[in-house]
């Protein structure tokens, strides 16, 4: 409505400089652009798409985006190095001092310097892939999202096994042979580019990844497990004639693992966060049902539909994440753990919930054993 008002005022010759300056923060910078508004809107209007188009008008770093697109593996190495530096600063300065210093730098740099919190991941080692062997086990292609390949557990997390190792272990426990796309560190679904307004570079990365997945899955013959639901959502949209059997963690577990594993639910209470992408994929209730199969005490905090982390907004615009999760801590204070299906969302959830949030596979692995044939 405000954007429409700005355009109407411009047509009428009214100066909109002040209004546009305010809208930059209130309308564009603090929009999570997840598209959940379309689910609330009676006619399905996705305001997030408008915001992405407005961001693309100001996306002037095309050369940088092109370089990142063509040198993605190097960019991931740089991200791991940055996390190494942040982790070293934590050990040198101590967490409280670093958090205070980081918050000041984030504010003074207007989000250019990411904010460090206790939930900040440690760097994940680059994945070393074992060669595919021929055996009788069914194959599954494991697509580890770039955030999963870079971001390990936080230093204070009780669970120190990486999402990659936990996922691979669960799939192998269920009797699958796990295979990977070639040159995985160079692959990306393109979401980081698209959300910043670089749609062309984002689509190039998406098509490159689809080609790699077609090859790895033997032309779509094998199912593909993506460990992060936002990446899954981006990949399954507009596939056209391409036939890929793509799954997010929730759908894969309920479709392929339920008959291969025996569940023994725990008594410890679990908090569940349904990500925006899980809602778009139509897997919200399935995630809650899976959690209830794993724990006899499941908590779904009321009134939290989007965590507000929004990819990297939790680092650069932390007030969005803080406001969205302002009621979380009271709702989950008696829970032992939280679960979700997006590594970045879990950073903000851990910070503001006061409990460790992990991927769904951590909970499923803990309460299951392989079913005897």
CA distance 110 to 17: 20
Mean pLDDT of the chain: 91
With beta carbons less than 8 A apart as the criterion, state whether 342 and 350 touch. no
**What's the pLDDT tens digit per position in 291-346?**
999 999 999 999 899 999 988 888 889 999 999 999 999 999 999 999 999 999 99
3-class DSSP state of 102: helix
Residue 132 reports pLDDT greater than 70? no
Kindly report the three-state secondary structure assignment for every residue of 193-230.
Answer: HHHCCCHHHHHHHHHHHHHHHHHHCCCCCCCEEECCHH
Give the model's pLDDT for residue 131. Answer: 64
CA distance 214 to 228: 19
Sheet with strand 177-179: strands edge to edge = 177-179, 139-143, 224-226, 246-247
With beta carbons less than 8 A apart as the criterion, state whether 190 and 201 touch. yes
**CA dihedral defined by 304, 305, 310, 313, rounded to 10 degrees?**
-30
**What's the pLDDT tens digit per position in 199-222?**
899 999 999 999 999 999 999 999
Hey, what are 238's tokens? 């507009």
* Cβ-Cβ contacts under 8 Å for 65 (sequence gap 6 or more): 59, 193, 196, 198, 201
| Mean pLDDT within 158-182 | 94
Residue 254 reports pLDDT greater than 80? yes
CATH fold of 263-370: Rossmann fold (3.40.50)
Q: Which long-range contacts (CB under 8 A, 24 or more apart) does 326-329 make?
A: 326/352, 327/301, 327/302, 327/303, 328/301, 328/304, 328/352, 328/353, 329/353, 329/354
| Mean pLDDT within 20-39 | 90
Residue 128 reports pLDDT greater than 80? no
143 beta partners: 226
Residue 74 reports pLDDT greater than 90? yes
Under the banding of pLDDT at 50, 70 and 90, the label for residue 103 is confident
Residue 365 reports pLDDT greater than 80? yes
CA distance 275 to 340: 7
Residue 71 reports pLDDT greater than 90? yes
Residue 130 reports pLDDT greater than 70? no
Q: Return the domain boundaries, the chain.
A: 2-64, 263-370
Burial of 310 (0-12, 13-18, 19+ CB in 10 A): buried
Give the model's pLDDT for residue 135. Answer: 79
Backbone angles phi, psi at 220, to 5 degrees: 95, 5
Give the model's pLDDT for residue 282. Answer: 93
| Mean pLDDT within 12-37 | 92
């Amino acid at each position: 409505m405000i954007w429409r008002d700005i355009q109407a005022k411009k047509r009428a010759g009214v100066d909109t400089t002040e209004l546009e300056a305010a809208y930059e923060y209130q309308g564009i910078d603090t929009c999570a652009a997840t598209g959940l508004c379309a689910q609330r809107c009676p006619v399905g209007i996705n305001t997030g798409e408008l915001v992405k188009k407005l961001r693309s008008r100001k996306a002037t770093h095309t050369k940088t985006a092109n370089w990142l697109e063509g040198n993605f593996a190097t960019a991931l190495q740089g991200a791991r190095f940055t996390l190494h530096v942040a982790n070293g600063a934590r050990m040198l300065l101590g967490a409280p001092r670093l958090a205070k210093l980081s918050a000041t730098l984030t504010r003074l740099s207007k989000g250019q310097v990411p904010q460090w919190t206790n939930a900040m991941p440690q760097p994940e080692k680059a994945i070393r892939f074992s060669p595919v062997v021929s055996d009788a086990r069914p194959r599954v292609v494991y697509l580890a999202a770039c955030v999963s390949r870079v971001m390990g557990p936080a230093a204070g997390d009780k669970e120190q096994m990486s999402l990659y190792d936990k996922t691979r272990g669960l799939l192998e426990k269920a009797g699958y042979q796990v295979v990977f796309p070639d040159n995985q560190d160079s692959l990306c679904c393109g979401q980081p580019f698209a959300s910043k307004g670089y749609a062309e570079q984002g689509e190039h990365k998406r098509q490159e990844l689809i080609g790699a997945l077609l090859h790895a899955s033997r032309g779509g013959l094998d199912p593909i497990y993506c460990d992060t639901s936002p990446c899954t959502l981006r990949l399954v949209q507009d596939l056209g004639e391409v036939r890929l059997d793509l799954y997010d963690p929730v759908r894969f577990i309920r479709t392929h693992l339920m008959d291969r594993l025996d569940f023994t639910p725990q008594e410890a209470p679990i908090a569940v966060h349904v990500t925006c992408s899980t809602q778009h994929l139509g897997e919200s209730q399935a995630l809650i049902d899976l959690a209830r199969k794993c724990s006899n005490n499941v908590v779904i905090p009321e009134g939290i539909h989007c965590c507000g982390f929004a990819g990297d907004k939790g680092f650069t615009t932390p007030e969005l994440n803080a406001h969205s999760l302002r009621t979380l801590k009271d709702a989950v204070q008696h829970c032992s753990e939280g679960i979700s299906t997006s590594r970045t969302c879990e950073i903000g959830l851990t910070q503001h919930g006061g409990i460790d949030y992990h991927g769904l596979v951590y909970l499923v692995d803990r309460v299951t054993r392989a079913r005897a044939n």
